[in-house]
Structure 1
């Protein structure tokens, strides 16, 4: 359990605690903390439970992951647990993003909070991404045209619903619907729900309870896996042009 000795010291220092103060918080002796951090002994299951409860981090993450490789100390809420969510890096300390394969996207609802599920996902490097934790999600259907079926949306993890920017597009994980890619609006005067809207107006917008939302990922970029044909390119260009001219068209309408 080489990771655990490094993780104990790393997490203790993040909390700015001395070994003595940390030992007092856990009801341990200072020599016990020193022994675990220096690798002279390994904590038994009872001590691992103490650590898990104190840091609110599952035991398997404490044991299997080197948390020093995390680039930040952000946490995500999973049920009543706050779980450390490290940015994955490779041997050269470069950011990697996990790819949710299309065939496995249905299982993301069950596996999103399982470190073993996340660990086995394929990873790629996209050096142009801004800082933060990113994943690539498969897109199904035509509800968000011109984004094509089979494309991947690369999105940045959003820590809280309060950080949502109304009108932007997000990957949303809900208890009822699993993964969806929608434009998210915050209805005025409604503190309990968000409005999910498709760019393809053939699909009706709908309300989702904030309590039903498990994860939010803000759009960063789109990766198309298929070529556009000539007709689609024209349609995409026209749609983009009208979206950009929306303000001007509304201004003209007033005259």
Structure 2
């Protein structure tokens, strides 16, 4: 039987530094000695007392199981805030979706790029921090800090007027219960990475994926097949869209032609 790996010491140290507290400050808030806290953080407490576990779980607003069994340093800031808000897999019993991400030297989240050539690898490595770290990354100014962003390159013409080869920036969605049809990048087991208009059928626990291009039929996928959903935020295209005329412009053009024909009759 494989032994269980625990992350108590590293998680305690990670969460303290995340709150920008010294060992003295955290020890005072917890009501323990600095020596005891230091022993916990350095792994010298092989069997932490249950009182200390509960004390830290209450302070950091996470379950004891999460503090022990999940390497919190591998989670995004967005996911940690989600755990603090009470959406903890061990508290709610729901299936946790752990998002692998990368950060800058200042602990700011990058925007990772998933080009077409990396799509096959992404399907197998979307949850692997080592794979995600191999993707190109960049930063954009003035983006809200409460969202996690990722960029995907599109293929085909199913979402025209957004042409194939364009780049879609999406924000990571934890809640998949859409109130209305929403443009999203969806990562699934069988369909791969798709940029579609997405609707959620809650009673059936299925998604309807619709292309903007009417030549493509909508299709359904079960919620269990979905691995990630990224809500459309921005797009980058490599060519200007083909100019199209509105009905009003066409009507004005016809009226002008008719006027000129009337002038010729005179």
| TM-score range relative to shorter protein | 0.5 to 0.7
Of 77, 80, 89 in structure 2, the residue corresponding to residue 70 of structure 1 is 77
- 1:102 alignment partner in structure 2: 116
Q: Note if contact 1:6-1:66 (Cα within 8 Å) is conserved in structure 2.
A: no
Distance 1:10 1:144, change over 3 A: same
* Structure 1 equivalent of residue 141 of structure 2: 127
Normalised by the length of structure 1, the TM-score is 0.65
1:176 and 2:179 equivalent? Answer: no
Equivalent residues of 1:144, 1:182 under 8 A apart: yes
Change (3 A) 1:142 1:128: farther
| SS, match of residue 242 in structure 2 | helix
CA distance in 2, matches of 1:43, 1:117: 33
Partners of 1:139 and 1:149 within 8 A in 2: yes
How far the C-alpha of 1:176 sits from its partner, in A, is 1.1
Change (3 A) 1:83 1:192: closer
d(CA) in 2 for partners of 1:100, 1:42: 42
Map 1:47-58 onto structure 2 (within 5 A).
54-55=65-66
Q: Does residue 147 in structure 1 map to residue 169 in structure 2?
A: no
Partner deviation per Cα, 1:126-152 (whole Å, 9 max, x = no partner): 113233001001100010011111111
Which of residues 225, 231, 235 in structure 2 aligns to 1:222? 235
Contact 2:100 2:127 in 1 (8 A): no
2:174 corresponds in structure 1 to: 159
Look up the match of 2:211.
198
Q: Which of the residues 170, 182, 186 maps onto 2:200?
A: 186
| CA distance in structure 1 between the partners assigned to 2:156 and 2:111 by the alignment | 23
Deviations 1:26-75 (A, max 9, x none): xxxx97753142x4x5788x99xxxxx9217876x55xx477x8365236
Using the TM superposition, give the Cα deviation of residue 111 of structure 1 relative to its aligned residue in structure 2, in angstroms.
Answer: 0.4
CA distance in structure 2 between the partners assigned to 1:161 and 1:181 by the alignment: 15
- TM (norm. structure 2) is 0.63
Deviations 1:70-99 (A, max 9, x none): 36523698xx86365476442345442111
Q: Cα distance, 1:197 vs. partner? A: 0.2
Tell me if the contact between 2:101 and 2:132 (Cα under 8 Å) persists in the aligned partners. no
CA distance in 2, matches of 1:74, 1:233: 42
Closer/same/farther in 2, CA of residues 169 and 107 from structure 1, 3 Å limit = same
Supply the RMSD in Å over aligned alpha carbons: 4.1
* Count of paired positions: 210
Question: Are positions 1:233 and 2:248 aligned together?
Answer: no
Q: What secondary structure is seen at the aligned counterpart in 2 of 1:161? A: coil
Cα distance in 2 for partners of 1:158, 1:5 equals: 30
CA distance in 2, matches of 1:220, 1:114: 24
| Residues 81, 121 of structure 1: alpha-carbon distance in 2 compared, 3 angstrom cutoff | farther
Q: Structure 1 residues 194, 129: closer, same or farther in 2, change over 3 A?
A: same
Indicate the structure (1 or 2) with the bigger Cα radius of gyration. 2
1:7-18 equivalences in 2 (<5 Å): 7-11=11-15
